[in-house]
Amino acid sequence: MKKVFLLPVIALFLSITTLNAQLPIGSWAPPFTMTDLEGNEHRLYDYLAEGKAVIIDFAAAWCGPCWMEHESQVLDQIWEEYGPEGTDEIMIFFVEADPETTTGQLYGTEGPSQGNWVEGTPYPMIDVQDWILPDSYNLNFFPMITLICPDMKVKVPSLWNNLANWNVDYVVNEALSCEGSTPSTNDAAIFSYDIYGRDCYIGDLDFELINSGSETLNEATIELKRNGQLIDTYNWEGALEFGEGTILSFNGINLEPAINEFSLELIGEDDDQTNNSIALPFQKATTTSLDLTVYLQTDEDTEADNTRWWIENDMGETVAESGPLSNNSYTETNITIPAEGCYMFHVADDGGDGLTETGFILISDSSDGLIYDNTHFGYEDDALFLAQASVNTQSISPEKIQLSAFPNPAQQMTSLQLTLNQASDIRIECMNLAGQMVNSLQAGHYTAGQHSINYDLANLPQGVYMLRVYTEEGAASLRVVKE
């Protein structure tokens, strides 16, 4: 469970991760294969291919309107009459669509929760672990109850309006009106939930080729592009009937630094072009030196929430960790990674609120290359990096310019202590560890000798910054911490 964005008591309309509208009526329903609380696997297109209408109840354990809808038992009654033990015309799923919630909240044993959602619910319940499925359905309020017809098209983006209009007859009439809807004749589709992949070395992209048409699909050509440039082609041959799919992959892709904007595209004409392309951004891990520093300002509930960090190698072995941390304290922890390789930096907070406004955490290497910088990380977050001994480290020569700062860390103002060998104009630039200039100061003209220059940090967010002082003799850099 990651990144707490939602902590409401009553919420009818809530933005989750985007402000996108719901899926349009008649749009292709994104496929999914999910495991319910009892360990049973469900593939959406299997049920649609059997001619069933599918109802998906996107809800959240803390959501008041969701609980009202759930307690109405409208979907329970429909399941009993039209589900697998009835006429077998309608399939229903409950999807706990806020990945920040816990299983305990679904059972009503942890808060915030409206009660025990599991007790008495006859249809499958799915507890998502990330935002990918909710985002694919453009979920932007709770509850959102989506109706999908057997032609794989969204008939009603949300059946729920309010309790007064929520009844068995209304829902059943909408669902059974799917009868007679026919799929397109010729429609191949591609889809993937394998988005935002990351690796230290090479990229592997998995996707599903799906037959959304009534005719058998026997061949397909898929192009892989990066930033619009073709880099590979997959020619598939086989036999897929309506609703069937097969998992395909592009493997061993050479990665460029940072984010690789990959896209997949089905080549050729069919009846629905909207499901023929997908974007699959993929990140190559940051390359760092072996020497790292973790900068951490804890908050007032660090001890109670067991806020902590640790670093694992690619075997899952911990190579460095914070140990117990104290409230409202600042630490700089220097780490030497034991060997070159791929590592994961983790940060966690059992309270689920990350570090509040009084705290921050970031990690950089000896070249001031940024690995991680995020205060609001919720329950847990991580960052992948590739440690190498060959990465150049940065050193500042003190021969011509001697530079220090006090206090450091500082909350408001720090005083730069500067020694010049000759008179010079002085300019100061403040950079964050992402390399972005956030402030600058033309300090004026100074004679040779020792000087003290006050630098105001008050308007900067908490964190670590590089102050670079430019003189006619050269430049010097100094790392400062804003508490």
Q: What is the pLDDT of residue 392?
A: 53
> Is the distance from CB of 359 to CB of 462 less than 8 angstroms?
yes
Predicted structure pTM score:
0.76
The better pLDDT of the pair 428, 2 is held by 428
**Residue 460 to residues 332, 359, 456, Cα–Cα distance (Å):** 20, 13, 9
Amino acid at 320: A
In one-letter notation, the amino acid at residue 114 is Q
DSSP 392-430: PPP----SS-EEEEESSSBSSEEEEEEEESS-EEEEEEE
Q: Are residues 295 and 273 in the same domain?
A: no
Of 51-65, 145-159, 269-283, 426-440, the one with minimum mean pLDDT is: 426-440
Residue percentage of the chain with pLDDT more than 70: 93
Q: Which residue segment(s) compose the domain that 91 sits in?
A: 33-176
pLDDT for 194: 82
CATH number at residue 248: 2.60.40.10
Burial 188-204 (b: 16+ CB within 10 A, else e): bbbbbbbeebbbbeebe
> Are residue 168 and residue 84 in the same domain, yes or no?
yes
Strand order in the sheet with 318-321: 286-288, 380-387, 341-348, 308-313, 318-321
Domain match, 244 and 277 both: yes
**25 belongs to a structural domain:** no
Q: Which of 131, 154, 176 is the last residue of a domain?
A: 176
For residues 363 and 366, what is the distance between their CA atoms, to the nearest angstrom?
Answer: 10
Per DSSP (E only), the strands in 323-462 are 330-336, 341-348, 360-365, 370-373, 380-387, 402-406, 413-420, 424-432, 437-446, 449-456
Q: pLDDT tens, 429-440?
A: 888 876 678 888
Residues 119-143 pLDDT 10s = 999 999 999 998 889 999 999 999 9
> Of 19, 112, 17, 20, nearest to 60 (Cα)?
112
Q: How far apart are CA 51 and CA 455, in angstroms?
A: 70
Question: Regarding predicted confidence, which is higher, 467 or 211?
Answer: 211
Whether residue 296 is found in the same domain as residue 279: no
62-88 mean pLDDT: 97
> pLDDT at residue 257 above 50?
yes
**DSSP category for residue 81:** H
Name the least confident of 162-171, 312-321, 437-446.
437-446
* pLDDT in the model for residue 87: 97
CATH at residue 320: 2.60.60
Residue 48 CA neighbour count, 13 Å, CB half: 35
Measured on CA atoms in the order 207, 131, 311, 262, is the torsion positive or negative?
Answer: positive
pLDDT average, residue stretch 314-334: 93
Q: Per the domain annotation, does 2 fall within a domain?
A: no
Query: What region, left, alpha or beta, does residue 105 occupy, with left being phi > 0 and alpha being psi -120 to 50 degrees?
Result: alpha
Average pLDDT score, the chain: 89
Are residues 63 and 166 part of one domain? yes
What is the mean pLDDT of the segment spanning 399-415?
Answer: 82
Please identify, among 284, 306, 333, the residue that sits at the C-terminal boundary of a domain. Answer: 284
What pLDDT does residue 14 have?
36
- Coil/strand/helix, residue 165: helix
Residues 58 and 94 in one domain: yes
Q: Are residues 84 and 170 in the same domain?
A: yes
**Residue 149, domain CATH:** 3.40.30.10
How much is the pLDDT for 17? 35
334 vs 332: CA distance, rounded Å = 7
Rounded Cα gap, residues 355 and 349, in angstroms = 8
Determine, yes or no, domain membership for 28. Answer: no
Q: Is residue 92 part of a domain?
A: yes
C-alpha 438/C-alpha 465 separation (Å) is 9
Residue 181 lies in a domain: no
| Residue 206 shares a structural domain with residue 273 | yes
**What is the distance between the alpha carbons of residues 83 and 67, in angstroms, rounded to a whole number?**
22
Domain count, the chain: 4
Is there a domain that residue 27 lies in?
no
